[in-house]
Structure 1
């Protein structure tokens, strides 16, 4: 199967029977993130494993050569310019390969469009799926990104708050589809509850879905490969970002 043939144009075509129940609005998870006490939801078994593996291989073939490295190390001045004890202040740090799929003139965008990834991430069925989890209407004009974590890659503590963006300042929704190779041993999402980083869940599955009601504090641990399989250990994350739909003004 070609890379293009492995990427469905509609998210619905990746789903299992249970995943389609969410799409129809019939599953127990529908509206889960409408609860203000809940920030995060991880779902397994919603995406068919065989289809997820074909999609992962298509990304390896069609998109991997076009990724750019995003490396934001810890600035040394966070130690050597401190003037008082216990006043540490850590900016966002990360190391991961990525493609911002809204840059239409980039080689990554052209490659993603050619294999059908842009259609998948902007599909109506993906928006409806996210909307049914969110429990509220979403703007169909979403953002798209692809991430690829290799051994040791991570994302440090951050909250994804965008106070300078009027539409996003009061919150928005992210949906992540994880596609890990068998060479990955583990990678975890750690997030805050009650002001402490006490919650941790694995996110390195093949077809794992994670849906975030942002902003909140979280980080992604370094990816660990299985012994002697570092060269093949990669976790892809396909990301769709949705703003909440504008509320209609009453007459």
Structure 2
């Protein structure tokens, strides 16, 4: 693969096409308020998924910026009561937002066809098929790369100060891991406890969808022995607002 296809649908398997058409068993699953998270494999063609990882490694990786938010030391040393810990969102990863046409990352993403693919009608329709709801036409795009030891700490992705997102919204992640990755897990809460866990690197082109906000975190990525430098999980992230607020 030298560039991304113009339509996201061209990356899909027959099962992925069925979801796009609303015929998959999980189509519309996130319309149920009790369903906060989906992890679906077999929707993106594995050969295409491996090619996507190689393409991102070759062209986009040099244009990512590091995002590191460690645990603030004051969360311990300024605490005045037992068991009164408050942990802000912590993370370490590399990222690039793909919404700014003037950025170097956007220009490279455009040259390899990534922007066109993620702005295609079939990409937005695929997200809407998972949501089971109408989505606003404008949506955000981001590329994230987790290297060895990179993670995202417990957080909710709640935005109460933003009216359009305050009552919920949709994130869709497409995961593409290099062969040097051993594993990485997504852990999320159910009935108030972190009891659910999904491995997110071993199924090429895994699709995960989140009806936010809810509690979740991503464990540190682990590399295969002596392959830390080559181990990476790419995430292509789309953030969609609901066109209705049901």
Q: Which of the residues 145, 155, 174 maps onto 1:148? A: 145
Across the aligned residues of Structure 1 and Structure 2, the Cα RMSD in angstroms comes to: 1.0
Aligned length, in residue pairs: 244
Normalised by the size of structure 2, how large is the TM-score? 0.97
State the SS of the aligned residue for 1:86. coil
Of residues 202, 214, 217, the one that matches 2:215 is 217
User: Greater shift after overlay, 171-180 or 113-122?
Assistant: 113-122
Offset from partner CA, 1:18-74 (integer Å, 9 cap, x none): 100001111111111111111000000100011111111111111000000000000
TM-score, normalization by structure 1: 0.95
Runs of 4+ in 1 over 3 A off after TM superposition: none
1:235 aligns with 2:236: no
Looking at structure 2, the residues matched to 150 and 173 of structure 1 have their Cα atoms a distance apart, in angstroms, of 25
Distance across 2 between alignment mates of 1:154 and 1:181: 16
Contact 1:192–1:198 (Cα < 8 Å) also in 2: yes
Within the candidate set 40, 63, 75, 2:60 is matched to: 63
Contact kept? 1:159, 1:216, Cα under 8 Å: yes
Give 1:86's match in structure 2, choosing from 83, 88, 94: 83
**In structure 1, what is the Cα distance between the partners aligned to 2:107 and 2:244?**
31
Larger displacement relative to structure 2 (87-96 or 125-134)? 125-134
- Which residue does 1:52 correspond to in 2? 49
Deviation at 1:103, TM superposition (A): 2.1
CA distance in 2, matches of 1:107, 1:152: 26
1:24 alignment counterpart = 21
Matched, 1:176 2:173: yes
Q: Secondary structure at the match of 2:242?
A: coil
1:118 corresponds to? 115
Counterpart CA distance in 2 for 1:27 and 1:110 is: 35
The residue that corresponds to 2:96 in the other structure is: 99
Following the alignment from structure 1 to structure 2, what is the Cα–Cα distance between the partners of residues 71 and 103?
21
1:133 maps to 2:119? no
Q: 1:140 offset after TM fit, Å? A: 1.9
C-alpha contact 2:38 2:210 (8 A) present in aligned 1: yes
Distance apart, 1:246 and its partner CA: 4.3
Residues in 2 aligned to 1:153 and 1:68: alpha-carbon distance in whole angstroms:
13
> What SS does structure 2 have at the residue aligned with 1:63?
helix
Does the 8 Å contact 1:122/1:142 carry over to 2?
Answer: no
Equivalent residue for 1:196, pick from 187, 193, 196: 193
